[in-house]
Amino acid sequence: MADEARDYLLRQFETAWALTQYHLDGLTTEECLWRPARKGLHVQPLPDGTWRADWPEHEGYDLGPSSLAWLTWHLGFWWSMVLDHSFGGGPLSRESVMWPGNADAVREWIGQLKGQWQDVLERTTDEDLRSPRRTRWPFQDRPFGDVVAWANVELTKSAAELGYARFLYAVSDR
């Protein structure tokens, strides 16, 4: 029964990843850059060719629906942050996480993050999950297992958002 909690969390992660991958497969850049409404979180091209994501001042419904580009950026943002702050030096900030610019690069970026996270989870012990040693973002002073469980929920939420936006795109009057 060693590392039983880790194994539960890893299986939950694998389910969340399968849902996410389903909605990333076949995603196009046109879909990413489509806006489901005139108002909503999106990404903006900068003069140097990079893409910066909008950041909401609040989380009210009046923000409007997010674009797929923003949703994929947000997925990469939180995953990059938790990896950097838990296993790196922790200097990464929201402003330094850019949207990759096209759907193929999005899949590559998110796939790399998935691989890094899975490697971490497979090496994590139940003792690691009980310890707050690696818990620096988005929480502090809590067991690392809380971060892993949060990441699984966040990944599932991201999958649901991506799927819903793709359904809207598929029936839109572009």
The pLDDT of residue 3: 82
First-to-final CA distance of the chain: 54
The pLDDT of residue 1: 52
Q: Which of 20, 11, 7 is nearest to 155 (CA)?
A: 20
The pLDDT of residue 174: 86
Q: Give residue-wise pLDDT tens across range 148-166.
A: 999 999 999 999 999 999 9
Share of the chain above pLDDT 70, in %: 99
Q: Assess whether pLDDT exceeds 80 at residue 78.
A: yes
Work out the average pLDDT over 96-125. 97
pTM: 0.96
**Which amino acid, 102?**
N
Q: Which domains does the chain have, with CATH numbers?
A: 4-35+64-170 (1.20.120)
Q: Give residue-wise pLDDT tens across range 12-50.
A: 999 999 999 999 999 999 999 999 999 999 999 999 999
